[in-house]
Structure 1
Amino acid sequence: MVAQHPSAPLAACEGGDVTRSTALLTDHYELTMVQASLHAGTADRRSVFELFPRRLPEGRRYGVVAGVGRALDAIESFRFTDEDVAQLLDVVDERTCEWLASYRFSGDVWGYAEGEAYFPYSPLLVVEGGFAEAVVLETVLLSIYNHDSAIASAASRMTWAAGTRPCIEMGSRRTHEEAAVAAARAAYVAGFASTSNLAARQRWGVPTTGTAAHSFVLLHDTEADAFRAQVDSLGVGTTLLVDTYDVAEAVQAGVEIAGPELGAVRLDSGDLGVLAHEVRAQLDALGATGTRIVVTSDLDEHAIAALAAAPVDGYGVGTELVTGSGHPTCGFVYKLVARAGDDGEMVSVAKKSTDKGSVGGRKHASRRLDDSGVATTEVVGTAAPDDAHHRQLLVPLVSGGEVVGRTTLDEARRHHLRARAELPRAASKLSRGEPVIETLHV
């Protein structure tokens, strides 16, 4: 389709950059709460926090969990350096600075596997530890999960609409440079085949792809000169961008220069469906029956679905993907749901509000399946159902401060495909609707 490069070594898939401290990727009030709890003697009180959505983004039928691996890296890298502490001397008192300087998360974390589907009130993360050590993780965990899951949720709809045709992530220039790397990773989890972002290849092993832009064609005196230079350098399997001037003339020149073995042509403007049919007919008439057609240009899941009947071989998606296709965040929250009482026993706690309430108590989560293996209900409660018709959703991620639940991106991709295939067929609809399965509190 387009020039593609192999993944980076497997080690890059299993963990990104864990050398940079994530401790200051937080909010001011997290640290003032630590100070106040130290003063009150409650900083070490055993506590359970849960990260969850109250609802799906409006009109969506399911969501997709992503960012788990990045969150585990963030927990490992949550260390206050001497320089960090020095900058906080006017934020919190000396005692708190000493506590921060020695911070290491020592608790336990359970969560939904990366690539899993989620629904309203799914407990995507359960964090248990002392109050202070768990509360300071709130901002960075929400930042990662809200962004990455929004991208993966959009990407899943796009890859479902694309069917067997591959999708390429190419939105780096449409978002913050670091968000671009995370977006490429999240899209890969949800089924995208590759990315244009080289940092995502370096850090996470996501395959990269790309050939040339309009500027390369405009650089040369003629389109034919540009195509000849590209083919001479990259080979006949390259992808030629054919909509700089006249599409038909460009296709003709491309096949004349590369021969019928030309790898692919890319369309980036105009009525893509009509053009794809015209280009396919022209390529076939020229004997280039194996040359593929890749389309780009502000695609989203709806545009991809509309091109299902067109002779298109792949899609390049940018802006709509990295902005969550209209929903750039998932609205996840991180709430205290249980804490130790004076006698040491865990006590259920919850915020009471008409529109921002939470359900107290440490949760278990399972997905109820019918006899055909199709999901019917998200079951969330303080007791774990134990029968063959329930698939348990929470897996151990951190035990005693040590990461135990890291997976590779390829494992996350496979998990996503299994979880998505388990959903009712209505989940694939792109029309606005309610969650495809209900959440039952028990």
Structure 2
Amino acid sequence: MADQSIIRITKEIGELQKSSDLSIAVAFRDRDVRNVKALIIGPHETPYEFGFFEFSVKFNKEYPRKSPTVTGTTTNSGRCRFNPNIYASGKVCLSILGTWRGERGEEWSAAQGLESILLSIQSLMSSNPYENEPGFEDANQTHDKENQKNYIAKIRHETLRISIIQRLEEYLGITANGTVTPASESEYFDLDMDDENDMGGSAVPWEPFKDLCKRRFLWYYDSYLDTIKKAKEEVKDSQPFTRMPFEGASNSMDGKFNYTELEQRIRRIKAALDAEPEKWATEGISPRTKDTTVAVNLARQCEQIKESYKHSDVPHNVELVDNNPFVWNVTYFGRPMTNLDGGMFRIRLNFSPRFPEEQPRVKFLTSMFHHRIAADGTPCYFPNASRREDVKQHIDAIIEALEEEQPPYDPRTLVHPEAHKLYWGNPDERKMYNRQLRRSVQRSMEEDF
């Protein structure tokens, strides 16, 4: 039974890790498959939008006959209740988990699994989470509407402050006064140092979503600023949160609005993330790094990709910058008979000495107005999760994102708010989008290469 349970858990995790769902991620340590970390990225057009919410999932030996135990860990150390059904203690109230009384047929069954649990939790993160409170239908609607508005407002603020800003500040070592604490050399060069057994109990905390959250922050940076701009029009700094009727002394979301401070912190995080690739480049030419397996592998891949382009119909070019295997330039030529025809765009790929554990940071050095490229040049693309070490598939995925003619609508790819709005707008707005894209293509030939 135990072996079958582990096989089932491992299979479910593998399927999730291979899926194209951009809002759910899972990870576990090989030696402990029953203890899983999960990340849910808050849905678009909700107060949780693009927040990073982490959960601990513990599978018992009776799984799948019995449901696992799920605990929310994004709670500001037990001080923040993010939802009527997600308590400050981390308790998640769901009928399929047996933590909430549901209708007949809503209880746990062996046909369900980790994905259905995470999707159920994600569904709680709605545009009006106040509705999740039991008895909502019988509440005084006039007074209730004001409570709903106030509840949404403070969730939006705390999503930014706790799930995004605090998380990224911890990842980057940004202190309360805004300074950045440099990482130690052991973090740079000893890739096993996060293992408790290898460190005699003084391990760096296991953060499997660290790199993912950093890259997604860059995707959604402009959306975060837009959220702050709009929220500043609705609430004032130092205005206290309104306590909801269902909130208790130790199970609430208390605090004050301060979007001015949040904006400053968001911008500091962006600056720190922008500085990381430069640090990687310096590390890449240091004596301790230049002859490592990662450096040799990247240099070899660059030569192979360069050679492959010589024998293909695609004239794209790849080269190392200053002979540094951790810094690549890719020159992309727009495909004929498309809106990109005639364009020539230079793309910078920065690699970490810990690649592929840390995925490359990609930026368009030549500006392009495109719904899948952020204003700062960061592209939104989906590399193959099972081939993270293959640089060619990263480049191919970037090109595919640029050239896809009929992409399905996906709000999780909202990285350039203005271009996204025009691209998915009415026919006149789409024409305006195409004109701006063509202008950027024409300008690309004028920029100095």
Larger relative strand fraction:
1
Larger relative helix fraction:
2
Larger radius of gyration: 1
TM over 0.5: no
Structure 2 length as normaliser, TM-score?
0.20
Structure 1 length as normaliser, TM-score?
0.20
